[in-house]
Amino acid sequence: MKLTVLGYYGGYPYQNTGTSGYLLQANGFNLLLDCGSGVLMELEDVLDPLRLDAVLLSHYHADHVADVGVLQYYWQLHSERYQHEILPIYGHVFDQAAFDGLDWPAATEKRAYDPEIVNQIGPFEIKFLRTEHPVPAFAMRIKERDTGKVLVYTADSKVFPALTKFAHDADQLIADTNFFANQPGEIWHMTTTQVGEMALKAHVHSLLISHLPQTADRNRLLKETTVASHNQLPVQLPHAGMVINI
Ligand SMILES: [Zn+2]
Ligand SMILES: [Zn+2]
């Protein structure tokens, strides 16, 4: 499967780079994973948005769903091309109003994923794990059926033990790395050190740190994470348009 980074900041977009959004492609199926601020603009450079087959949302914080509304308009305004096509948007049902908003007439349709089972979306088998975050949010373990390759996306979360188990042996981990190691106080995202240690313990094969703070020294984020992982696995910083073949 092919992963393209469309946005990677936490909270708000900054200097032409958006918040969370990733395009995941396999067997001709195009899945948009989260749809944050600026993601539609970036997607337009990579893929005709009408070629999306599904959207999958980790949770309803604005930095993960801000562009859902404009994506719905995009589909609505191109109805002459896809009169019979509706874009499915998968979300959780633990915030009914937000879930209902995934419907848009003649454009998109809400679909619920079930965190208790393995969900089949296109060529992917997807498991979910509820994270520790101020609102219901779900990490995802996405397996490409044909190749057995696994992408784990932590979505937004503070560190907690079950996340390590959930990420076990993933070919690629995308981890919420919003803070430096020395971040004080209670936090709802992970630090560089927590992410590096988790990736090491989980034996993931490759790590992409994401959901980054806007003005931080990127190289320090990378270095702290790499040191915490004992240099045992490749750790990468994201950039818009970055492609990772998994
Ligand atoms: Zn977020
Ligand atoms: Zn969040």
Interval between CA 199 and ligand 1 midpoint (Å): 20
pLDDT at 242: 98
Residue 83 has pLDDT above 60, yes or no: no
pLDDT tens digits along 177-186: 999 999 998 9
Helix (H) / strand (E) element for 46: namely helix 39-46
> Once rounded to an integer, what is the mean pLDDT over residues 204-220?
96
Q: Residue 80: which pLDDT band, with cuts at 50, 70 and 90?
A: confident
Q: At 193, list the tokens.
A: 């050190």
By the 8 A CB rule, do 138 and 41 touch? no
Structure-token match 């990127």, residue found: 218
Interval between CA 11 and ligand 2 midpoint (Å): 8
β-sheet bridge partners, residue 14: 17
Q: What are φ and ψ of residue 152, in 5° steps?
A: -115, 130
pLDDT at 85: 83
Interval between CA 132 and ligand 1 midpoint (Å): 12
Residue 196 has pLDDT above 80, yes or no: yes
> Once rounded to an integer, what is the mean pLDDT over residues 35-48?
98
> Once rounded to an integer, what is the mean pLDDT over residues 126-134?
98
> Once rounded to an integer, what is the mean pLDDT over residues 119-124?
98
Q: Which ligand has its closest atom nearest to the C-alpha of 66?
A: 1
Interval between CA 57 and ligand 1 midpoint (Å): 11
> Once rounded to an integer, what is the mean pLDDT over residues 10-30?
97
pLDDT tens digits along 134-165: 999 999 999 999 999 999 999 999 999 999 99
Interval between CA 48 and ligand 1 midpoint (Å): 25
Residue 211 has pLDDT above 80, yes or no: yes
> Once rounded to an integer, what is the mean pLDDT over residues 86-114?
97
Helix (H) / strand (E) element for 64: namely helix 62-65
CA dist., res. 42 & res. 130, Å (int): 28
Domain layout of the chain by residue ranges: 2-245
pLDDT at 200: 98
Interval between CA 10 and ligand 2 midpoint (Å): 8
pLDDT at 222: 98
Burial of residue 146 (number of CB atoms within 10 Å: 0-12, 13-18, 19+): exposed
**Superfamily in which the 2-245 domain is placed by CATH:** Ribonuclease Z/Hydroxyacylglutathione hydrolase-like (3.60.15.10)
Higher pLDDT, residue 226 or 186: 226
Q: At 125, list the tokens.
A: 């088998």
Interval between CA 35 and ligand 2 midpoint (Å): 12
The rounded Cα 69 to chain-centroid distance in angstroms is 18
